[in-house]
A and B are shown apart, each in its own frame.
Chain A
Amino acid sequence: MGEFQTLAGMVVGKEGIIKKIEGGYGLQRRLACLGLRVGKTIRKVASEPLRGPIVVEVDGGHIAIGRGVAEKVWVEVK
């Protein structure tokens, strides 16, 4: 069992599996349509300074999301 962390809190370069996404139906679907769903393996690629956005790799592509949203995505870090 790995450690549970949010996408925002995770260390850059680490991989993990999405376990839970907080937030409403609209946000869930928006994230799902970009590949961020429970059960998916992701890798944190970058974290911009001064509370800037987070870049994650999922399905071999990159997604940029704001820190607020990244704090709602819980990941079991490998």
Chain B
Amino acid sequence: MKILLMGNPNVGKSVIFSRLTGTNVIASNYPGTTVEFMKGTMKFREEKVEVLDVPGVYSLEPTSKAEEVAVKMLEEGNMVINVVDSTHLERSLYLTLQLLERKIPVIVVLNLWDEAKHKGIEIDKEKLEKILGVPVVSTVAITGEGINELVSRLEEAKPGNLKLSEEERWKKIGEIVSQVQRIYHRHHTFLEVLGEASVKPLTGIPIALGVMFLTFTIIRFVGENLISYVFDPLFEFYTPVATIFSHFLGSGLIHDILIGQLINGEIDYFQSMGLITTGIYVPFAAVLPYVFAFYLVLGFLEDSGYLPRLAVLVDNIMHKLGLHGSAIISMLLGLGCNVPGALSTRVLETKRQRFIAATLMAIAVPCMAQTAIILGLVGMHGVFGLGIVFITLFIVWLTLGLILNKIMSGESPEIFMEIPPYRIPYWGALLKKLWIRIRSFLVEAVPFVLLGVFIVNILYALGIIQFLGEITAPIVTGLLGLPKEAVVALVIGFLRKDVAVGMLLPLGLTMKQAVVASVVLAMYFPCIATFTVLVKELGILGMTKSALIMVTLALFVGTILNLIL
């Protein structure tokens, strides 16, 4: 048996899904967080049943990709939990009526019940239930209120027997709303005033600049302090243990793989390149603090409802790149990790937009893991070098977007988006989301870091790095001005970009070399995790095109930087 959770975008389906199934999924305060349906299970009538979290749709007419998916899933479902936004009853009922025209049992959930109350909206549940002929329950999914009632009344779900034309549907909705809903007048709240101020250009642009500045300041502050006061002290306890182990192993291949090279007779976590030295230190002490800091701030931005407002403000710039405002959310997600960033491009309407967005992100948006190590590699030469790295990437992003928009055929649809109200993020949900993301970083990234470090050692031991260094010297040394050994970073960059940038630390690069290497590594190719997702999203042909752009542009930009710096 399959139970479907269906409703308009951003009404809290994913939160209800988490509550029902105990499966943790990412939910945020903007439309389109769920791009792929999620599956979970729950107990119903002493049976294990499947629950599916369907991407949000406004109607069952399959005009967009999300709606096509939803309609197809509806055919396979046995019951629908129709999640309704209590603060927007009228527009939500359109989908409700369409569902009641199908032969599938439906139960209606009036979510965001507390918010409706605050807005002075009163809905007569019992009357609505009588009119619709199916059970109606109210919930505040984020706190869990009403979920028990929903579960206990699931078996009362039944199909409707409506047959309406488009016009009749809206007429019926008008009748229902006038019978069950009362709205009491009240004054605008502070959050509403702020909400308007942040989309009006005169006040919105300064607010956006302030938010961005604050975001990066907080990420840097939290990241740096976590490293200095938490992770580095922790590793001070670990160092003696690793050193004793190093003495115990003596020398040889096993020592080189596990501990790596000793620098002046001591373990150097950045340079040694052993599995239990660099392989542990890089993901946990160098990258994790920044990943933590980034997702802490991102979670707050997502749940507050700020991101759609930012999307509206930058919409006209994004149009010049062949995209629209929503794509800025993909780019921000990409700053954390390119994988969720690439997946989120599905909310864009056309193939052309998705190609441009994914290519721009893969080429010019460095993930947090990579950024963390770039901060170390280039940052030790001062802030100036860091500025060049990120400004160069931004110029590449902008220019490539302008060019792709000019040369690719087709048009870009306009933005069409609901802007959710500002909400004070619920800390329980924030922490849960942060944990989901940290866990997926640990589970998905750490093994690749270790594999990367392991392969480096094997490649060195077999002399392959030296060999590659010789044959690629004309490019690496000739065009980019880097030492021959830097080729190893380009090889490992396919596995993990953070390890790759880390590989450059022992080479003692000058600032110019560090800048060139960081930019080229960011641009030349996505890491394997991103690559896999991009192949799936763009197709082999699309990915090949995208990859050609990446390699060419990386060499071009790297050479230019080498010449002008």
Q: Is the CB of A69 within 8 A of B88?
A: no
Residue from B61, B87, B95, B201 in contact with A48 in the complex, judged by beta carbons closer than 8 Å:
B201
A50 within 8 A of B: yes
Q: Which residue of A lies closest to B61 (CB)?
A: A29
- With known contacts A63-B418, A68-B414, A46–B200 Cβ distance under 8 A: yes
Measured CB to CB, the closest approach of chain B to A52, in angstroms, equals 4
Q: Which chain A residues lie closer than 8 Å to B63 at the CB level?
A: 26, 29-30
Residue from A32, A51, A61, A63 in contact with B94 in the complex, judged by beta carbons closer than 8 Å:
A32
Measured CB to CB, the closest approach of chain A to B318, in angstroms, equals 10
Measured CB to CB, the closest approach of chain A to B11, in angstroms, equals 12
A1 to B22, CA, bound (A): 56
Q: Which chain B residues lie closer than 8 Å to A52 at the CB level?
A: 201, 312, 315-316
Q: Is the CB of B88 within 8 A of A61?
A: yes
Q: Which chain B residues lie closer than 8 Å to A50 at the CB level?
A: 316
Q: Is the CB of A48 within 8 A of B58?
A: no
A34 to B88, CA, bound (A): 9
A51 to B63, CA, bound (A): 26
Q: Is the CB of B58 within 8 A of A64?
A: no
Residue from A32, A33, A51, A63 in contact with B419 in the complex, judged by beta carbons closer than 8 Å:
A63
A26 to B67, CA, bound (A): 13
Measured CB to CB, the closest approach of chain A to B304, in angstroms, equals 15
Q: Which chain A residues lie closer than 8 Å to B308 at the CB level?
A: 64
A12 to B196, CA, bound (A): 12
Residue from B204, B415, B421 in contact with A61 in the complex, judged by beta carbons closer than 8 Å:
B421
A17 within 8 A of B: no
A55 to B203, CA, bound (A): 14
Residue from B88, B183, B195 in contact with A35 in the complex, judged by beta carbons closer than 8 Å:
B88
Q: Is the CB of B415 within 8 A of A66?
A: yes
A59 within 8 A of B: yes
B1-25 CB contact bits vs A (8 Å, 1 = yes)?
A: 0000000100000000000000000
Main secondary structure of the interface of A (DSSP, over half): mixed
A49 to B199, CA, bound (A): 11
Q: Is the CB of B204 within 8 A of A46?
A: yes
* Max chain A C-beta neighbours (<10 A), residue from B87, B308, B312: B312
Interface members, chain A 22-57 (any B CB < 8 Å): 26, 29-30, 32-35, 37, 45-53, 55
Q: Is the CB of A64 within 8 A of B325?
A: yes
Residue pairs across A and B with CB atoms within 8 Å: the count is 104
A48 to B414, CA, bound (A): 13
Q: Is the CB of B58 within 8 A of A65?
A: no
A2 within 8 A of B: no
B313 within 8 A of A: yes
Residue from A34, A62, A63, A69 in contact with B195 in the complex, judged by beta carbons closer than 8 Å:
A62
Interface members, chain B 398-455 (any A CB < 8 Å): 413-421
Q: Is the CB of A34 within 8 A of B325?
A: no
Q: Which residue of B lies closest to A47 (CB)?
A: B201
Measured CB to CB, the closest approach of chain A to B169, in angstroms, equals 10
Q: Is the CB of A45 within 8 A of B119?
A: no
Q: Which residue of A lies closest to B64 (CB)?
A: A30
Residue from A46, A48, A59, A61 in contact with B316 in the complex, judged by beta carbons closer than 8 Å:
A48
A20 within 8 A of B: no
A29 to B416, CA, bound (A): 13
- With known contacts A61-B421, A63-B418, A65-B415, A30–B316 Cβ distance under 8 A: no
Q: Which chain B residues lie closer than 8 Å to A62 at the CB level?
A: 195-196, 199, 418-419, 421
A46 to B311, CA, bound (A): 14
Measured CB to CB, the closest approach of chain A to B119, in angstroms, equals 6
A61 to B9, CA, bound (A): 14
Q: Is the CB of B313 within 8 A of A59?
A: no
A59 to B315, CA, bound (A): 24
A67 within 8 A of B: yes
Q: Which chain B residues lie closer than 8 Å to A47 at the CB level?
A: 201
> Ordered nearest first, which 3 A-B pairs have the shortest CB separation?
A66-B414, A33-B58, A52-B316
Q: Identify the B interface with A (CB < 8 A).
A: 8, 58-59, 61, 63, 87-88, 90-91, 94-95, 119, 121, 166, 170, 183, 195-196, 199-201, 204, 308, 311-313, 315-316, 324-325, 413-421
Q: Identify the A interface with B (CB < 8 A).
A: 12, 26, 29-30, 32-35, 37, 45-53, 55, 59-69
Pairs across A and B, CB under 8 Å, 23 listed: A29-B63, A32-B94, A33-B8, A33-B59, A33-B94, A45-B199, A45-B200, A46-B196, A46-B204, A46-B312, A48-B312, A48-B313, A49-B201, A49-B316, A50-B316, A52-B315, A53-B414, A55-B419, A59-B90, A64-B325, A64-B419, A66-B324, A66-B414
